[in-house]
């Protein structure tokens, strides 16, 4: 029943061979990768103005242009760098792989952990802010915010479990709607500005009184706030193997298109903010003010821009649903995370990673009650940390290769590394007390966890490895001396079955009875005689009423006395009832014995099942 329901939700399984049909082509790839990156563009100009306007007033608009140009410069550097990464590392993994290969395992894991944290935060924040957008339209839903956010995450989880191109198709429509409505607004707005000229800036000069001077620090702060426009940029390089062949070429095209989108939308909206004199305030977003100015009031196009913006904020989650499982699978394949993250589910998506992401994000949403206020400061530290590590890694990469133009490229990446390091520093400094410290603590903890898992897997692999020589000399076909011990409390159908089974495997069988009741012991001995068997009955009286401990002690003594070519098998009779609920009433002894006996390396523990016939259940 439950299985069928899940099958219905997630569709029929896909075979390994169907793999390529589930991969992204360019338009769908752009739709999936773009949502996170361009949704952050939607509020980047506003973030810059929020820093500048209270200090330098109307002069902000000039500096908005300069800061935007700086960010666009950084965008270009990052794009060039990521295109190089896609080319150099076709297996995906982005910052993690680049840092690992060039800087070493630990920097790689730091980059990986930072990105993973950021993906989780993106889901929690986007789901919460998407719900906030819905509830500001329908205030009666406010008490159900947490529920709505969790439902949203569950819907995204199901869509993503259905497989990669399914979810790409789902999300391409609103993403393109947003992209095209933004481009239309920018072209229309610029054309309108050129034809009709600027609206009066008089009011703005009156409203915005400068309170201080332009300082390097202020510009840096504005710059770092605007850098949120660049989060989500790394998604493409992580997901190269998700693209249709030729994967690297398609990924590169998507990367360039994405940069173009960011460039046009971010640059354009910064320009329009200046042209139409948008002033950031608590109630109306800068984007809404621009749309209001460009489309002359609350017209149809104004609502289109508002609506698609709300949807793209929710969609931003989805980039994480692609990026997180992919990165996790790369880390798991390297042995730093549990292996199960590296196996593809029924529909070829990394289902364990998807489910894990949605559970953690869901918990965050519930703990923070779908309020993004406390989560946002934790955000984007991780992205810029991983940018820095990837850029630094690429510098080392160029040192190792002999490609032509490597010095120019090294320079670009070196510059990028310096800028992103600076940005990371500014972000950490600005947001340390309001939450970035959590990331600073969590990243090393996660990295230590990764290393611990790797160490454990190595230990297991080393311990299990059987080389050619070992295989040849393992002595398969040689016989052991078998001794079988059957612990019994009484002679019933289950224990008789187990004894019969044991006796037919070997002639050395011991029936072991430990009892705190001498009367029962005598009864058993009496009944045993009727059995007429050569199985040895060993009865031990337990004055302190314990059963499990004396059994284990006795079997332990036999185990220690065994010679090397002797194997002891303990057959535990277990009766199986039809209803699972009945199981809690018995078979505790079996469970405890099994766990304890597996500690001896020459004891094999068998469970002999005896099935009670179900029809007896209805008799009184």
Rounded to a whole number of angstroms, the CA Rg of the chain reads 33
Closest CA to 100 of 343, 386, 413: 386
Specify the residue, 83 or 524, whose C-beta has the smaller distance to a second copy.
524
491 in contact with a second copy (CB under 8 A): yes
Sign of CA dihedral 47, 51, 53, 57: negative
Within positions 464 to 483, which residues make up the interface with a second copy, using CB under 8 A? 464-466, 468, 470-472, 474-480, 482
Among residues 264, 576, 591, 592, which is the contact residue for a second copy, using CB under 8 A? Answer: 576
Residue whose C-alpha is closest to residue 141's, from 149, 14, 432, 179:
149
Question: Toward a second copy, which CB reaches closer, 51 or 342?
Answer: 342
Distant-in-sequence contacts of 215-218, Cβ < 8 A, 24+ apart: 218/51, 218/52, 218/55, 218/56
Of 466, 79, 12, the closest CA to residue 251 belongs to: 79
Site for a second copy in 42-101 (CB under 8 A): none
Q: Which is nearer to a second copy, 313 or 446 (CB)?
A: 446
Segment interacting with a second copy, rule: CB under 8 A, options 217-225, 273-281, 300-308, 335-343? 335-343
Minimum distance from CB of 545 to a second copy (Å)?
A: 6
Closest approach of a second copy to the CB of residue 449, in Å: 11
Q: Which of 26, 58, 201, 340 binds a second copy (CB under 8 A)?
A: 340
In this chain, which stretch among 71-79, 189-197, 211-219, 455-463 interacts with a second copy, using CB under 8 A?
A: 455-463
For residue 610, which phi and psi values (nearest 5 degrees)?
-120, 120
Q: Would you give the distance in Å from CA 510 to the centre of its chain? A: 52
Kindly state whether residue 244 participates in binding a second copy, applying the rule CB under 8 A.
Answer: no
- Contacts of a second copy in 157-176 (CB under 8 A): none
Of 110, 529, 279, residue with least CA distance to 288: 279
Task: Determine which residue in the list 543, 560, 561, 564 makes contact with a second copy, applying CB under 8 A.
Answer: 543
Of 278, 494, 512, 558, the residue at the interface with a second copy (CB under 8 A) is 494
| DSSP secondary structure letters along 346-401 | TTSS-HHHHHHHHHHHHHHHHHTTT-GGGTGGGTTHHHHHHHHHHHHHHHHHHHH-
CA distance 57 to 379: 28
Using CB under 8 A as the binding rule, the residues of this chain from 7 to 26 that contact a second copy are 13-17
Asked if 355 touches a second copy (CB under 8 A), the answer is no
Residues near a second copy (CB under 8 A), total: 93
Instruction: Pick from 214, 535, 562, 592 the residue near a second copy by CB under 8 A.
Output: 535
Q: Which of 499, 524, 552, 558 binds a second copy (CB under 8 A)?
A: 499
Q: Is 5 in the site for a second copy (CB under 8 A)?
A: no
599 touches a second copy by CB under 8 A: yes
Q: Identify whether the C-beta of residue 266 lies closer than 8 Å to the C-beta of residue 45.
A: yes
Q: Which long-range contacts (CB under 8 A, 24 or more apart) does 373-376 make?
A: 374/435, 375/121, 375/124, 375/125, 375/128, 375/435, 376/125, 376/435
Which CB sits closer to a second copy, 111 or 509? 509
Q: Of 471 and 561, which CB lies nearer to a second copy in the complex structure? A: 471
* Residue reference for tokens 């709607």: 177
d(CA 119, CA 36) in angstroms, rounded, equals: 10
- Cβ proximity to a second copy: between 417 and 511 the closer is 511
Please say whether the beta carbons of 34 and 261 come within 8 A: yes
For residue 464 the two structure tokens come to 């299990």
Interface with a second copy (CB under 8 A), residue from 106, 169, 333, 346: 346
String of contacts with a second copy for each residue 544-573, x by CB under 8 A? xxx--------------------x-x-x--
Q: Please choose, out of 50-58, 68-76, 143-151, 538-546, the segment that lies near a second copy by the rule CB under 8 A.
A: 538-546
435 binds a second copy (CB under 8 A): no
Interaction between residue 410 and a second copy (CB under 8 A)? no
CB closer to a second copy out of 349 and 391: 349
CB of 557 to a second copy, least distance (A): 18
520 binds a second copy (CB under 8 A): no
Terminal alpha carbon distance of the chain: 31
Residue whose CB is less far from a second copy, 323 or 573? 573
Cα 66 from chain centroid (whole Å)? 37
Side-chain-side CA neighbours of residue 155 (13 Å): 12
Regarding 533 and contact with a second copy (CB under 8 A), the answer is yes
338 binds a second copy (CB under 8 A): yes
Q: What are phi and psi of 550, to 5 degrees?
A: -60, -35
Burial (CB count <10 Å: 0-12, 13-18, 19+), residue 509? buried
Decide if residue 363 touches a second copy (CB under 8 A): no
């Amino acid at each position: 029943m439950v299985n069928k329901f899940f099958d219905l939700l997630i569709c029929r399984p896909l075979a390994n061979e169907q793999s390529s049909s589930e991969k992204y082509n360019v338009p769908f790839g752009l739709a999936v990768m773009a949502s996170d990156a361009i949704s952050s563009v939607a509020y980047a100009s506003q973030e810059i103005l929020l820093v500048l306007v209270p200090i330098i007033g109307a002069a902000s608009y000039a500096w908005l242009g300069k800061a935007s140009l700086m960010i666009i410069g950084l965008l270009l550097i990052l794009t060039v760098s990521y295109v190089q990464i896609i080319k150099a590392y076709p297996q995906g993994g982005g910052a993690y792989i680049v840092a690992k290969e060039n800087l070493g395992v630990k920097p790689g894991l730091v980059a990986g952990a930072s990105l993973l944290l950021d993906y989780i935060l993106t889901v929690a924040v986007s789901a919460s802010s998407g719900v906030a957008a819905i509830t500001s339209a329908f205030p009666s839903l406010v008490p159900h915010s947490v529920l709505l956010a969790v439902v949203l995450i569950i819907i995204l989880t199901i869509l993503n479990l259905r497989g990669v191109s399914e979810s790409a198709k789902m999300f391409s429509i609103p993403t393109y709607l947003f992209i095209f409505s933004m481009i239309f607004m920018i072209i229309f707005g610029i054309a309108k500005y050129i034809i009709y000229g600027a609206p009066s800036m008089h009011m703005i000069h009156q409203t915005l009184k400068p309170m201080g001077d332009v300082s390097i620090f202020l510009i840096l702060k504005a710059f770092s706030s605007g850098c949120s426009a660049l989060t989500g940029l790394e998604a493409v390089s992580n997901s190269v193997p998700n693209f249709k062949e030729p994967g690297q070429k398609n990924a590169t095209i998507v990367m360039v298109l994405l940069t173009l989108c960011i460039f046009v939308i971010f640059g354009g909206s910064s320009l329009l903010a200046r042209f139409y004199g948008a002033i950031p305030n608590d109630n109306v977003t800068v984007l809404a003010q621009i749309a209001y100015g460009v489309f002359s009031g609350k017209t149809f196009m104004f609502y289109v821009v508002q609506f698609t913006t709300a949807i793209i904020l929710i969609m931003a989650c989805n980039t994480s649903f692609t990026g997180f499982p992919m990165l996790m699978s790369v880390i798991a394949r390297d042995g730093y995370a549990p292996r199960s993250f590296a196996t593809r589910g029924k529909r070829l998506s990394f289902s364990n990673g998807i489910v894990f992401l949605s559970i953690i994000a869901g918990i965050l949403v519930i703990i923070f009650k779908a309020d993004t206020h406390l989560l946002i400061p934790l955000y984007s530290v991780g992205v810029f940390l991983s940018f820095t590590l990837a850029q630094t890694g690429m510098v080392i990469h160029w040192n190792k290769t002999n490609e032509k133009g490597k010095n120019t490229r090294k320079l670009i990446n070196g510059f990028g590394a310096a800028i992103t390091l600076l940005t990371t520093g500014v972000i950490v400094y600005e947001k340390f007390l309001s939450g970035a410290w959590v990331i600073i603590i969590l990243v090393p903890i996660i990295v230590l966890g990764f290393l611990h898992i790797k160490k454990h897997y190595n230990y297991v692999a080393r311990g299990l490895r059987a080389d050619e020589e070992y295989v040849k000399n393992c002595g398969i076909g040689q016989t052991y001396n078998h001794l079988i011990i059957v612990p019994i409390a009484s002679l019933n159908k289950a224990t008789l079955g187990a004894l019969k089974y044991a006796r037919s495997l070997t002639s050395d069988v011991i029936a072991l009875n430990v009892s705190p009741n001498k009367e029962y012991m005598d009864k058993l001995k009496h009944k045993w005689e009727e059995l007429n068997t050569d199985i040895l009955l060993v009865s031990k009286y337990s004055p302190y009423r314990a059963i499990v401990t004396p059994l284990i002690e006795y079997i332990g003594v036999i185990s220690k006395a065994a010679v090397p070519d002797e194997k002891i098998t303990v057959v535990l009779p277990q009766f199986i009832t039809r209803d699972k609920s009945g199981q809690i009433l018995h078979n505790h002894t079996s469970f405890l014995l099994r766990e304890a006996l597996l500690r001896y390396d020459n004891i094999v523990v068998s469970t002999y099942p005896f099935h009670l016939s179900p029809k007896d259940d209805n008799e009184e």
